[in-house]
């Protein structure tokens, strides 16, 4: 079915152009992932970063750019963090809330604020990363250190800004959500290296075949679970009253409101990752401080028992952002008002406030189920991976969640555009 949809999409000139543009942006992203920043000693950097933990996770999200310390080392995470901050401020600050309700103009202004915030946050994270890996910089003896640190931080910030533009260009001229697809491309690009590492470990006897089979079953389980939850909906029946306009009778038919179990998609996972990456970046800035020791001891993603607090906070953040993003994207009061305006009602409930409260109650329950599932899938592989002995290769449910979720959303957009271009009625 997916192959047929892609084949049909490629036969449509407009969709073929969009898919080709998206693939071209992917190519530019992969080229940039191999462009190193100046003054870097890769051998020293490799020894400093090592293997395992948060570094492997960030390297997976950035498509290998993080450990190479290329111009795209920060990936798109500062943009995601800035988006979180702006959406939170939209609820807290009345002027931003009014701006968000001003239609296209308000969205453009908030997008502009998000871009500025991305550059600011990107520079903070870039400078923290630069200072944390300063031992891997080959600085000539007569030169001053701080101007070099500033230059490297500016290069990393420019890389993030370019990726932000790349993602927005994909959204506007390509197919799918550009920011999500950038993260998707980074994760998928690491799959061949992961398979190669897995094969080498199996060949030298570091792991056995049962561990590989267990990993494969875990991948299948997570993929099936993500698809099942992403496609799951709770249908709320709606009845439309009959209206007589002139000599015609309108309404009287039945319909339903589809409430998705996971209304927020993979956005809560990306939000939680970006938020947890920020204090670890600050910790690299001040490595000898008590704050850095606390973060590295209790909130490091290193697969040991000390990562349990990290996983707990990670799971709670996913559930929180699931509720938060669902509340931002779906307003039961607006849905109830629209139903009342067009003569619709839920059987057994009065239009208006009772309908909104009923929808809020249903949405709260199914969002809890969706958030718990996302949190479970995100943290379960990190706990199971110690049993399989795959500590030298990064694999997480988070990556698989993002890949499957983004792939599903992109295929839905392709199919919806195909439907609008090739719609046929009952009579061919």
Say how many residues make up the chain. 428
Helix (H) / strand (E) containing 411: helix 397-421
pLDDT in tens, the chain (428 residues): 566 666 776 777 788 888 889 999 999 999 988 888 888 877 777 777 655 556 666 777 777 788 788 889 888 888 988 887 888 788 778 888 888 878 788 888 888 999 999 999 999 888 888 887 777 777 776 667 888 888 889 999 999 999 999 999 998 888 888 888 898 888 888 888 778 877 887 888 777 777 778 777 877 887 888 788 878 888 888 887 766 666 665 556 777 888 888 888 777 887 787 777 777 767 766 767 787 777 777 766 554 444 677 788 888 999 998 998 888 778 888 888 888 887 788 888 888 888 888 889 999 999 998 889 888 887 776 666 655 555 555 556 677 778 888 888 888 888 877 776 654 444 44
Dihedral, 230, 192, 158, 167 alpha carbons, nearest 10: -30
**Tokens standing for residue 32:** 């940039």
One-character DSSP codes across 221-275? HHHHHHHHHHH-EEEEEEEE--EEETTEEE---EEEEEEETTTTTTHHHHHHHHH
Q: Tokens representing 67?
A: 């450990």
SS3 string, 272-308, reads HHHHHHHHHHHHHHCCCCHHHHHHHHHCCCCCCHHHH
pTM for the whole structure: 0.75
Per-residue CA distances from 148 to 69, 120, 143, 155 (Å):
15, 19, 8, 11
């Amino acid at each position: 079915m997916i192959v047929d949809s892609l084949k049909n999409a490629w036969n449509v000139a407009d969709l073929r152009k969009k898919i080709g543009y998206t693939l071209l942006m992917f190519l530019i992203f992969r080229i940039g992932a191999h462009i190193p920043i100046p003054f870097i000693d890769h051998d020293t950097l490799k020894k400093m970063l090592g293997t395992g933990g948060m570094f492997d996770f960030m390297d997976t999200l950035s498509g290998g750019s993080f450990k190479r310390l290329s111009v795209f080392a920060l990936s798109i995470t500062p943009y995601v963090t800035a988006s979180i901050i702006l959406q939170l401020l939209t609820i807290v600050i009345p002027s931003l809330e009014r701006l968000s309700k001003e239609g296209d103009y308000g969205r453009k202004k908030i997008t502009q604020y998000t871009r500025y915030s991305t550059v600011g946050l990107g520079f903070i994270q870039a400078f923290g990363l630069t200072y944390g890996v300063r031992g891997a910089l080959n600085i000539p003896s007569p030169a001053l250190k701080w101007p070099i640190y500033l230059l490297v931080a500016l290069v990393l910030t420019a890389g993030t800004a370019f990726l932000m533009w790349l993602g927005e260009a994909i959204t506007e001229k390509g197919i799918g959500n550009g920011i999500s697809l950038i993260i998707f491309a980074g994760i998928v690009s690491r799959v061949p290296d992961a398979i190669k590492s897995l094969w080498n470990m199996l060949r030298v006897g570091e792991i056995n075949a049962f561990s590989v089979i267990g990993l494969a079953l875990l991948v299948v389980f997570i993929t099936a679970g993500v698809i099942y939850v992403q496609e799951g909906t709770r249908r709320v029946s709606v009845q439309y009253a009959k209206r007589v306009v002139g000599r015609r009778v309108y309404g009287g038919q039945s319909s339903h409101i589809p409430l998705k179990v996971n209304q927020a998609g993979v956005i809560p996972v990306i939000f939680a990752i970006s938020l947890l990456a920020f204090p670890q970046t600050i910790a690299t800035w001040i490595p000898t401080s008590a704050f850095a020791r606390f973060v590295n001891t209790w909130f490091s993603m290193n697969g040991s028992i000390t990562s349990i607090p990290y996983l707990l906070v990670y799971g709670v953040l996913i559930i929180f952002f699931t509720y938060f993003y669902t509340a931002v994207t779906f307003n039961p009061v607006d849905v109830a008002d629209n139903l009342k305006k067009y003569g619709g009602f839920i059987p057994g409930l009065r239009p208006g406030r009772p309908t909104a409260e009923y929808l809020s109650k249903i949405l709260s329950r199914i969002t809890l189920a969706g958030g718990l599932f996302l949190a479970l899938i995100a943290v379960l592989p990190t706990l199971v991976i110690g049993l399989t002995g795959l500590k030298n290769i990064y694999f997480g449910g988070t990556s698989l969640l993002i890949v499957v979720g983004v792939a599903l959303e992109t295929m839905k957009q392709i199919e919806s555009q195909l439907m609008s271009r090739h719609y046929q009625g009952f009579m061919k």
